[in-house]
Structure 1
Amino acid sequence: MQYKNKNTVMETITFEQLPQAVTRLHEKLDHIEQLLREANDHSPKTDELLTIAQAAEFLNLSTPTIYGKVSRNEIPVNKQGKRLYFYKSELAEWIKSGRKKTVTEIAQEADEYLANRKKGNR
């Protein structure tokens, strides 16, 4: 059996070496699992539920401005009784949706549009 080690050199494993190779493989898998768990534990909580005061702070807007946007259906909101709640991930997406394109991005899109249009006229 052959496998690649860290130096990407092929090494032949004999039958006698197989238990040690399996042990090394198991240790590496354990290490990978541990790294993945740690990465998940440190990932930001983007679906955190926010109150109106927290949403206002997150968006750097006043609470009355948030109420106005809610009444005009301009902002994603969840209502339970008389309380308003916001998902942090939805607010982040809402902010991203208002992104203005740069001149370079607009020019690139125009070039792509014209190139595709020329292909269609042939």
Structure 2
Amino acid sequence: MQQETITFDKLPQAVTYLTEQVAELKQMVSALQPSTQDKHVLVGIEEACRIVKKAKPTVYALVRKGLLPAYKKGKQLYFYEDELLVWIENGCKKTSEQNYEEMQKAMQSGVRHKPKNRINL
């Protein structure tokens, strides 16, 4: 079917063939894509400490300051694994070049020219 010329009489067969191929491609793509729902797993304090690579007291302090996303039910703290990974990614330190560019932008935006005093007589 791939190399044949499609005539008006063979059009329904060609459409059926293409539909089957698209369905097969969709299945292949969905099998290759990692499931994002797998990462939205509720974990306890021990697992959260392992994910962020911090000690328990440090994790408790970050939660108390509101820096680490956490949920509290009763006396237990719960975390979502994907939220912890996003928190880690957002904590990326900037390079000295990025800091220099930001400093330049801040300095340039702060520069204001005084208006010229013109007296029209």
TM-score by length of 1: 0.68
Hey, which of these two has a bigger chunk of strand by percent?
A: 1
> How has the CA–CA distance of structure 1 residues 13 and 52 changed in structure 2, closer, same or farther, with 3 Å as cutoff?
same
Structure 2 residue corresponding to 1:63, chosen from 46, 56, 76: 56
Q: Which runs of 5+ in 1 are unaligned?
A: 6-10
Match of 2:46 in 1: 53
Counterparts of 1:109 and 1:68 in 2: how far apart (Å)?
A: 30
Q: Percent identity?
A: 37
Q: Deviations over 1:25-75 (max 9, x none)?
A: 1121111221243135x4252322111000001111122221222223221
Q: Which has the higher contact order (CA 8 A, sep 6+)?
A: 2
Structure 2 residue corresponding to 1:43, chosen from 25, 35, 39: 35
Structure 2 residue corresponding to 1:32, chosen from 25, 34, 54: 25
Counterparts of 2:55 and 2:97 in 1: how far apart (Å)?
A: 34
Structure 2 residue corresponding to 1:77, chosen from 66, 70, 73: 70
SS in 2 for 1:16: coil
> How has the CA–CA distance of structure 1 residues 31 and 107 changed in structure 2, closer, same or farther, with 3 Å as cutoff?
farther
Counterparts of 1:108 and 1:13 in 2: how far apart (Å)?
A: 59
Q: Which runs of 5+ in 2 are unaligned?
A: 114-121
1:96 is aligned with what amino acid?
A: E
Q: Deviations over 1:63-106 (max 9, x none)?
A: 22212222232211100111100111221222122211123334
Matches within 5 A, 1:111-122: 113=105
- Say whether residues 1:99 and 2:92 are aligned partners: yes
Question: Over alpha carbons, which structure has the higher Rg?
Answer: 2
1:80 is aligned with what amino acid?
A: K
SS in 1 for 2:19: helix
TM-score by length of 2: 0.69
